[in-house]
């Protein structure tokens, strides 16, 4: 393997928002990048391939093929695929190659993924992304974990990542992110539930005024719009992540009442988004009231009101 990370061949498993953003930023530095995504077998394939062509990113035919040609694999898939993706990549993992697990999965899932990669001769590093990729992009705050994390940190920094080592023990970085997500993803679900219900009763202005008085440091109008947009756009992925959050809570011996409810609310919004309820321009509207009205209109239609 080349000593200079900028000379590495980097493989991306998953080519969603995270994968495409990393690909763009790595290619700007002249780094060789390829990707594989299970969606290459579906209707999303043309869009993924078009983006890859525009940015000079190679396309692999399988997890194994990608791993066979990569000095460094970054896995950024849906939470439920964390272990399966690691197992698939392990079939072609180069001896000594690096594997950074970007996925929002429980500590237990990260530990199982590490077993597959390390058994194949790779070097697994747990990664926990601590906030939304935009606007940070490749420099998004990232916690690293595992026995290889300290050695990997300067190499990752050379590629432009903004990372720090949380622990040499696997699961600590993930636990940090999962516990944070109990709050952050829970707030998203609570705001959607609270604001939509308030809109139904015509008391949204009073509710927001009360929240401003209690939490004066938060612009609840703006925050509400942001939460609605993020869940409408990414509710399916968020629901999967929060199910991993719930598993993290279970692994600690607690019953995940809050996390389980959050996952259901996120998935519920995702189901509505899949029907086309919010339209393609929802992210640009910046008005949560419009989205709440659409939700309420759908509910009334279902109830025959």
Which conformational region is residue 286 in: left (phi greater than 0), alpha (psi within -120 to 50 degrees), or beta?
left
pLDDT score of 10 more than 90: yes
Where are the domain boundaries for CATH 1.10.1040.10 in the chain?
174-303
Amino acid 73: pLDDT: 98
pLDDT tens digits, one per residue of 122-136: 999 999 999 989 899
Q: Are residues 85 and 58 in contact, defined by beta-carbon separation less than 8 angstroms?
A: no
pLDDT tens digits, one per residue of 102-123: 999 999 999 999 999 999 999 9
Write 56-61 long-range contacts (CB < 8 A, 24+). Answer: 56/27, 57/12, 57/23, 57/27, 57/33, 58/32, 58/33, 58/34, 59/34, 59/35, 60/11, 60/34, 60/35, 60/36, 61/36
Where are the domain boundaries for CATH 3.40.50.720 in the chain?
5-170
Residues 164-178: what's their mean pLDDT? 97
Q: Are residues 76 and 89 in contact, defined by beta-carbon separation less than 8 angstroms?
A: no
pLDDT score of 147 more than 80: yes
Extract the tokens encoding 223: 């925050």
Q: Are residues 192 and 169 in contact, defined by beta-carbon separation less than 8 angstroms?
A: no
pLDDT tens digits, one per residue of 267-288: 999 999 999 999 877 656 789 9
Rounded mean pLDDT of the chain? 96
CA distance 123 to 88: 15
Amino acid 2: pLDDT: 84
CA distance 146 to 171: 8
Residues 6+ apart with CB under 8 A from 204: 195, 198, 289, 292
| 62 secondary structure, DSSP code | S
Amino acid 302: pLDDT: 85
Instruction: Lay out the sheet containing 9-13: strands in order across.
Output: 58-59, 32-36, 9-13, 72-75, 98-101, 123-129, 142-145, 163-167
pLDDT tens digits, one per residue of 223-274: 999 999 999 999 999 999 999 999 999 999 999 999 999 999 999 999 999 9
Extract the tokens encoding 253: 């011996």
CA distance 85 to 83: 5
Q: Are residues 174 and 248 in contact, defined by beta-carbon separation less than 8 angstroms?
A: yes
Amino acid 126: pLDDT: 98
Residues 128-153: what's their mean pLDDT? 96
Amino acid 303: pLDDT: 80
Q: How far is CA 227 from the centre of its chain?
A: 15
HEC letters along 77-113: CCHHHHHHHHHHHHCCCCCCCEEEECCCCCHHHHHHH
| 75 secondary structure, DSSP code | E
pLDDT score of 305 more than 70: no
pLDDT score of 37 more than 90: yes
For 106, 185, 240, 299, the CA distances from 262, given in Å and listed in that order, are: 16, 7, 11, 19
Where residue 64 falls among pLDDT bands split at 50, 70, 90? Answer: very high
For 31, 75, 149, the CA distances from 57, given in Å and listed in that order, are: 10, 16, 27
Amino acid 145: pLDDT: 98
Q: What percent of the chain has pLDDT over 70?
A: 98
Residues 6+ apart with CB under 8 A from 185: 238, 241, 242, 245, 259, 262, 266
CATH 2.60.40.10 fits 174-303, yes or no: no
Fold of 5-170: Rossmann fold (3.40.50)
Q: Look at strands 32-36 and 58-59 and give their pairing.
A: parallel
Extract the tokens encoding 92: 């072609």
């Amino acid at each position: 393997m080349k000593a200079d990370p900028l000379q590495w061949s980097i493989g991306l498993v998953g080519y969603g928002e995270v994968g495409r953003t990393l690909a763009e930023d790595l290619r700007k530095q002249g780094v060789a990048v390829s990707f594989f995504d299970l969606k290459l077998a579906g209707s999303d394939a043309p869009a993924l391939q078009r983006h890859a062509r525009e940015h000079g990113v190679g396309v692999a035919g399988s997890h194994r093929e990608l791993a066979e040609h990569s000095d460094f694999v970054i896995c950024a898939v849906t939470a439920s695929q964390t272990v399966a993706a690691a197992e698939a990549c392990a079939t072609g993992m180069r001896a000594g190659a690096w594997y950074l697990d970007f996925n929002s999965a429980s500590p237990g899932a990260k530990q199982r993924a590490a077993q597959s990669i390390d058994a194949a001769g790779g070097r697994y590093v747990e990664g926990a992304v601590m906030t939304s990729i935009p606007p940070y992009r490749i420099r998004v705050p990232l916690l690293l974990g595992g026995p290889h994390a300290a050695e990997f940190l300067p190499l990752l920094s050379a590629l432009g990542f903004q990372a720090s080592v949380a622990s040499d023990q696997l699961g600590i970085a993930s636990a940090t992110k999962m516990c944070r997500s109990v709050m952050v993803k829970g707030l998203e679900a609570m705001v959607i539930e609270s604001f939509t219900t308030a809109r139904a009763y015509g008391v949204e202005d009073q509710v927001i005024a009360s929240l401003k008085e209690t939490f004066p440091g938060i612009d609840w109008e703006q925050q509400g719009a942001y939460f609605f947009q993020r869940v409408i756009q990414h509710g399916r992925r968020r629901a999967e992540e929060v199910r991993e959050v719930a598993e993290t809570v279970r692994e600690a011996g607690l019953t995940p009442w809050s996390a389980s409810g959050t996952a259901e609310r996120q998935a519920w919004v995702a189901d509505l988004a899949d029907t086309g309820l919010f339209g393609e321009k929802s992210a640009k509207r910046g008005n949560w009231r419009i989205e709440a009205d659409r939700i309420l209109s759908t509910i009334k239609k279902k109830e025959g009101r």
